[in-house]
Structure 1
Amino acid sequence: MKRREFVAVGLAAALGLDVIPVEGRLGASDVHRIRALVPALYRHDHQLGGGALHAVAMDALRRVQHTLNRCSYGERVERLLYSAMGDLAASAGWFAYDAGRQQDASRLYSQALQAGMLSADGMLQARVWSNLAMQARLLGRDREALRIGRAAVETRQARTDPWLMALLHCRQAVGYARTGERARAERSLARAETAYDRAGDEPAPWLSFLTPGEITGLAGAAHQALGKYERAERLTADALTMLEPRFERNRVYYTVQRAQALLDGGKVEQAAVEAGRAAELASRLHSERVRNKLDDLRCRLTPHARVPAVADFLERTRQTGA
C-alpha cells in the first residue's frame, strides 16, 4: 500500500466517520457531530498537506450527501445540514487544491457555493470566493483573482469578521503586487494589519492557520512580488521564527519562499542552504502545491551548479526532484 493511502486509511479510522448518521430522524446534535469533522481534518492538513486528506474528506462528503437524501429532519436542521455539507465540500476543495487536483477543487468549490446559498450561510460563501481567488492566482489568472478577492472583501461577512478581512486583504496585497500595483499592495497590507489587530475570540476552523506568522509570511510574499527581495527575505525569516510547530506545511512553504528571496537578491549559496532545508522538511508532506514550488526553485538554482552548496542540493535531490 502506498504511504498516502496508508495515511488516508489511518485518518479515516481516527476521525470516526461512522458518527455521520445514515438513517432515522436527525436533530441539531447530529449536525454538530458532522461539523466537528472539519476542525479535525484541518489539524491533520496543517501537518500532512491536502494530498493525505482529500480522499478522507471526499468519503465524509459522500456520507453527508447520503444523509441529506435518506434521513428525515425539520427545516432548521436542513439548513444546518447544507451548511455542514458545504463546509466539508469547501474543505475537500482546499485539500484537492493543495494536492494539485485543480479540476476536482473547482467542482468541490461549486458544490460548496451551492450549499452556502441553500443554507444562507454567508461565511461559507465568502470562504469559497476566497479560495477561488487563490486558485485563480495559482493558475496564473491574477486579474481574475483580484476581481474575485474584491467581491469577497465587499461581503457582509468580511466586513463583520476581522479574521476573514485580514486574510482577504493579505491575499489582495499579494495579487496587487503581482500585477505591479505597489500602492494598492501596500494599502492592502496596512488594512490587513488593522483588521488583524481587531480580531478576537477564536477564528473559524478553516482560518486557524491565520497567525501572526502567516500574516508576516504573506507580507513577505507581497514584497517579493514587488521586487523588494531584502525586505521579503527578512519578513519571511521572521514568519518562520513565529510559526508554531503544528504548521509543518507552511514552514516548508515559507522556507522555499525565503530561499527564493535570497536567490532573487543574489545570495545564491544561502538560497541553496535554505532550499536543502526545505527539501528535507518536505519529505513528510503530501502537498503537490508545495512540491511544485520547491521544484521550481530547484530549476532556478540549476544554472548555479558550480556553487558548492547548490551542487550539493542538486545532488541530494537528483533522483526524487525537490
Structure 2
Amino acid sequence: MLPSPASSVPPANTAIRRLRGDRSPAEFAAAVRRAAREIGEQVSCDARYVGRLESGEIRCPNYAYERVFRHMFPGLTPADLGFAPRQAVRGRRTAVPPATPLDPTYEESDVQRRAFMTAGPAAFATALLPGADPPARAGADEVAAVHEAVRQIRLHDDRHGGDGLYTHATGALRGAYRLLDETTHSQATAAGLASGAGELAISVGWLAHDSGRLPEARSHYAEALATARMAADPALEVHAFCNTSFLARDAGRHQEAVRAAQAAQLLARDLGSSRLLSLLALREAGGLAGLGERRRCELVLARAHSLYARGPGDADPPWMSFFGEAELAGLEAQAWAALGKHDRAAGAARHAVRLQDPHFVRNLALYQAELAINLRRSGDGAEAATVAGSARRLLPGVRSARVRTMLTTV
C-alpha cells in the first residue's frame, strides 16, 4: 500500500535554502556546475534540481553531488547541509560496513520500492506501475514521473548493474508508452513524454544488455530510435545510436558498431558537447578495433582524447554522468585488447582502476578484470593473479551478468 500523501511529504531542507542566499535557483545551479568542473565532476544541476533539494524531495544526493557540495562548502558535513544519512535514505542495514557488498535481494527490493512506488511524483502509482490505467489527461506530473523512473534506474545501475531490475523496469516502460499513446495531452507534454519514454527505453535496453539479454536490448534501442525520430529529438537519437554501437560491438557486429557511432557523431555535431563527441569517438574506436583496423582506430582514439581534454560543458547530457577519465581509459583498454596490444591495454586498464571511484563496484570490477586478462596475455602471470584475486572479491556486489561473466573467466 502506498503511504498517504500526508505521511510521504518530506521536511524542507532549510540549510540548502540558507546557503543559496540571494541567488536565484538557476544562479545557484550554475554555481554548482562550476564547482563540479573545478574538481573534475560532471553534474547536470538545474533550477528544478535545486527546488527538489530545497523541498526535501532529495533527502541525500548521489556521490558526485556530495563531493561537489563538500568542495563548495568546506567544513560542512552532509548533516550540516540538511541531508539525511545515506543508510537511512537507501534502506541499508547499519550493521553492514560501507565497503561490504550488500545482499542483492535486500537492496534490490529496496530500490524497486523507492524507484517505482515512493520516490517520484504521485503519477508513479497511477501511470507507471504494470496493470494500472493511465489518467485521461497527462500533464507535468506524468512527465516528471517518467523522467524520475529513468533517474532511479540509472542511480541503481551505476552502482551495481542491471541484473534483477530489468523485468520491473520493463513494466515502467510499458506504462510510459501508454501515457504517450493513450492519453490526451498538450504538445509540450507530448514532447516531454516522448523524451522520457525514449530515455526509459534506452535505460531498459541497457539493463537488458548488462544482464546478458542482447536481443531484448537491441529491440529496446530500436524503439528509442523510432521514438526519437518521430519526436524530431536529435539528442535522444544520439543517445540511442551510442548505446546501439556499444551493444553491436559486444555482440560481434563490428561494422554496425562503427556505422552507429558515426551516425551519432553526425547528429551530435550541433549539440555543443565535446565530451559527448569524445564518447562517440570511443564507440567508433571499439568497432574499428574489432575489425582489426589498427591505424584508423589509433586516429579515432587520439581524437577522443583531444575532445575529452576540452573539458565538460553545460551542453553535456545528463546521461553521460558515468563518463569520466576512468571510463575513457577503460574503453581505450578494450580497444587495445581487441587489437591484440595487451601491454598497452594493461596500461590503460591500470589507469582506469586507479581512477575509478570504489563506490561504483561494477565498473571497478570490470576494469580489474580487464587488467588481469591483459596482464596474463602480456606474460605477467604473477600480477595478473593478484589483480584477479582483488576482482573476485568484488563479485558478490556485482549484479551484472556481463561483468560477472568476465570475472568468472578471470
Q: TM-score, normalised by structure 1?
A: 0.84
1:279, CA displacement in angstroms?
A: 1.7
In structure 1, the residue matched to 2:325 is 212
In structure 1, the residue matched to 2:368 is 255
CA distance in 2, matches of 1:261, 1:39: 34
In structure 2, the residue matched to 1:268 is 381
In structure 2, the residue matched to 1:43 is 155
In structure 1, the residue matched to 2:243 is 131
Question: Which residue among 251, 255, 264 is the counterpart of 1:143?
Answer: 255
CA distance 1:287–1:158, shift in 2 (3 Å)? farther
CA distance in 2, matches of 1:246, 1:19: 31
Q: Does 1:19 align with 2:123?
A: yes
Range moving further from structure 2, 255-264 or 277-286: 277-286
Range moving further from structure 2, 161-170 or 255-264: 161-170
Paired residues for 1:155-304 under 5 Å: 155-156=267-268, 160-198=272-310, 199-201=312-314, 203-297=316-410
Q: Does 1:10 align with 2:110?
A: yes
CA distance in 1, matches of 2:116, 2:292: 48
Question: Which residue among 50, 60, 72 is the counterpart of 2:172?
Answer: 60
Q: Does 1:83 align with 2:192?
A: no
Q: Tell me the amino acid that sits aligned with residue 287 of structure 2.
A: G
CA distance in 2, matches of 1:29, 1:62: 17
CA distance 1:208–1:133, shift in 2 (3 Å)? same
In structure 1, the residue matched to 2:209 is 97
5+ residue gaps, structure 2? 1-102, 128-133
Range moving further from structure 2, 165-174 or 6-15: 6-15
CA distance in 1, matches of 2:183, 2:262: 39
CA distance in 2, matches of 1:127, 1:233: 29
Q: Once the two structures are aligned, what percentage of the paired residues are identical?
A: 33
In structure 1, the residue matched to 2:184 is 72
CA distance 1:288–1:158, shift in 2 (3 Å)? farther
1:66, CA displacement in angstroms?
A: 2.7
1:214-260: CA deviation from partner (whole Å, max 9, x where unpaired): 11121222222233322221221111111113322111111000001
CA distance 1:49–1:295, shift in 2 (3 Å)? same
Moved over 6 A (4+): none
CA distance 1:158–1:293, shift in 2 (3 Å)? farther
Range moving further from structure 2, 17-26 or 181-190: 17-26
Asked whether the equivalents of residues 51 and 288 of structure 1 are also in contact (C-alpha less than 8 Å), the reply is yes
5+ residue gaps, structure 1? 298-322
CA distance in 1, matches of 2:330, 2:202: 24
Asked whether the equivalents of residues 216 and 239 of structure 1 are also in contact (C-alpha less than 8 Å), the reply is yes
Asked whether the equivalents of residues 252 and 281 of structure 1 are also in contact (C-alpha less than 8 Å), the reply is yes
CA distance in 1, matches of 2:140, 2:380: 57
Secondary structure in 1 matching 2:138: coil
Range moving further from structure 2, 23-32 or 130-139: 23-32
Range moving further from structure 2, 236-245 or 50-59: 50-59
CA distance in 1, matches of 2:275, 2:249: 21
Asked whether the equivalents of residues 126 and 155 of structure 1 are also in contact (C-alpha less than 8 Å), the reply is yes
1:95, CA displacement in angstroms?
A: 0.5
CA distance in 2, matches of 1:65, 1:31: 11
Asked whether the equivalents of residues 268 and 277 of structure 2 are also in contact (C-alpha less than 8 Å), the reply is no
1:49-96: CA deviation from partner (whole Å, max 9, x where unpaired): 011331232122122123224432112211221111111011000000
Asked whether the equivalents of residues 54 and 96 of structure 1 are also in contact (C-alpha less than 8 Å), the reply is yes
Q: Tell me the amino acid that sits aligned with residue 88 of structure 1.
A: L
1:6, CA displacement in angstroms?
A: 5.3
1:122, CA displacement in angstroms?
A: 1.0
CA distance in 2, matches of 1:255, 1:156: 32
1:8, CA displacement in angstroms?
A: 3.9
1:160, CA displacement in angstroms?
A: 3.0
The size of the alignment, in residue pairs, is 295
1:4, CA displacement in angstroms?
A: 5.6
Range moving further from structure 2, 216-225 or 4-13: 4-13
Asked whether the equivalents of residues 49 and 286 of structure 1 are also in contact (C-alpha less than 8 Å), the reply is yes
In structure 2, the residue matched to 1:313 is none
Structure of higher RCO (CA pairs closer than 8 Å, 6+ residues apart): 1
Q: Tell me the amino acid that sits aligned with residue 189 of structure 2.
A: V
CA distance in 2, matches of 1:41, 1:86: 14
